Amino acid sequence: MVNILIISHSFKIAEGTKELAEEMKQADIDIQIAGGTSGGKLGTDADLIRQKLENMDSEDGIVVLADLGSAVMSFNMVKEWLPEAKQKKIKLADAPLVEGAVLGAVEASLGKTLDEVLAAIEKKSIINKNNF
Amino acid sequence: MARKAKELFIKTADIIIENKNYLTELDAAIGDGDHGVNLARGFNKLKEKLKAESFESRSELFKLTAMTLISNVGGASGPLYGTAFLNISKVISENELSLDDLIDISEEAIAGIQKRGKAEAGEKTMLDTIIPAAESLKNSRANNLDLNTALNNCLQAAAEGMENTIEMQATKGRASYLGERSIGHQDPGATSAYLMIKTFIENSLK
């Protein structure tokens, strides 16, 4: 199964997004978070992101959802430090954090492949609020 | 050589820490108001580590600086400056630095920052200080200027670059969310980059 990593500047956003996503999952997938700095402030903790990526099961892939600037930058940086085989199985989604995590949790827990999960959550319609 | 470089990094850390509130005020105007606090946290940690350890090479020193900033800053300037220093650690000479060496170093720093931040000149970022500084070094080489003159010109170019960010509209980073309202404020990243360049240059002039 594809697993999910949520990276946010805010621990509360990361934790709350995980909670929403967990509620929708149809089977046991691993949803992990890296939220805020090591000191509990707003920001990103590159070491924590690295630790999560190293320890999560990436056999079927990991979809990463990130919020702003340094979350994306820190992720891209630590990803480059992983073995190449693992790098290929980790993809940052061009998707909004909350919607991407919720739909991603559904798709991943239905046994979809990494590319299928990404295709689903990267659809532009994911952000529609008036005509959904 | 590594010992002198270590002292230089401790001085740089002191300057950044001294300017913590100034950098944070600049960032509060157009960003999330944590640039000074974040960098000071990273550089305080760096000072601690530098004082506790000794180094065989400049390369080792630059690498430790990179990793410490990456692990402790918490904002975008962590991976940005971190990648710049990491790139420099791969090319820095252990001998007396020549103008050619400085140009190589500045190009590596720019490449590292652009790899992470995907910014170009004119987007109101730290690169608007660093790119003119690097260009100035290249001009000095083209005009066969001596190292001291080249460094003085470089510092001047960095200062002008930093000041030019006041009139720019931010198109990268958190300040870009403000659109036109980002105009009229000096960029905090361009300012921290200037403070670092200034410290490096002023302590290298003979």
Question: Does residue B197 have a pLDDT over 70?
Answer: yes
The contacts found for A10-17 with CB under 8 angstroms, 24 or more apart, are A10/A35, A10/A36, A10/A42, A10/A67, A11/A35, A11/A36, A11/A40, A13/A67, A13/A97, A17/A65, A17/A97, A17/A98, A17/A101
Q: How far is A68 from A88, CA to CA, in rounded Å?
A: 23
Beta partners for residue A91, in sequence order: A63
Quote the percentage of chain A above a pLDDT of 90: 94
Mean pLDDT, residues B185-198: 98
* Contact check, Cβ <8 Å, B173/A46: no
Contact call for residues B103 and B135 (beta carbons, < 8 A):
no
Computed over every residue of chain A, the mean pLDDT equals 96
Does A81 touch chain B if contact means CB atoms closer than 8 Å?
Answer: no
Question: What are the residue boundaries of the structural domains of chain A, listed by start?
Answer: 3-127
Which is the catalytic residue, given A9, A18, A52, A112? A9
Q: What is the ipTM of this complex?
A: 0.89
Question: Does residue A100 have a pLDDT over 90?
Answer: yes
Domains within chain B, CATH numbers bracketed: 2-202 (1.25.40.340)
Q: A110 catalytic, yes or no? A: no
Q: Give the nearest partner residue to A70 out of B72, B79, B83, using CB atoms.
A: B79
Q: Tens digit of pLDDT for each residue in B71-110?
A: 999 999 999 999 999 999 999 999 999 999 999 999 999 9
Look at B2 and B198; give whichever has higher pLDDT.
B198
CATH of range A3-127; options 3.40.50.300, 3.40.50.510, 3.30.1340.10, 3.20.20.370: 3.40.50.510
- Which of B194, B203, B124 lies closest to B159, judged by CA? B194
* Contact check, Cβ <8 Å, B38/A39: no
Would the CA dihedral through B187, B190, B196, B197 be positive or negative?
negative
Q: Tens digit of pLDDT for each residue in B123-174?
A: 999 999 999 999 999 999 999 999 999 999 999 999 999 999 999 999 999 9
Q: What is the value of pTM for the model shown? A: 0.94
Q: How far is B204 from A70, CA to CA, in rounded Å?
A: 32
Contact call for residues B121 and B128 (beta carbons, < 8 A):
yes
A interface mutation test: which of B27, B69, B72, B176 has the most A CBs within 10 A? B72
Contact call for residues B184 and B166 (beta carbons, < 8 A):
yes
Would the CA dihedral through B143, B148, B154, B159 be positive or negative?
negative
Q: How confident is the model at residue B3 (pLDDT cuts 50, 70, 90)?
A: confident
H/E stretch holding A63 reads strand A62-66
Contact call for residues A104 and A62 (beta carbons, < 8 A):
no
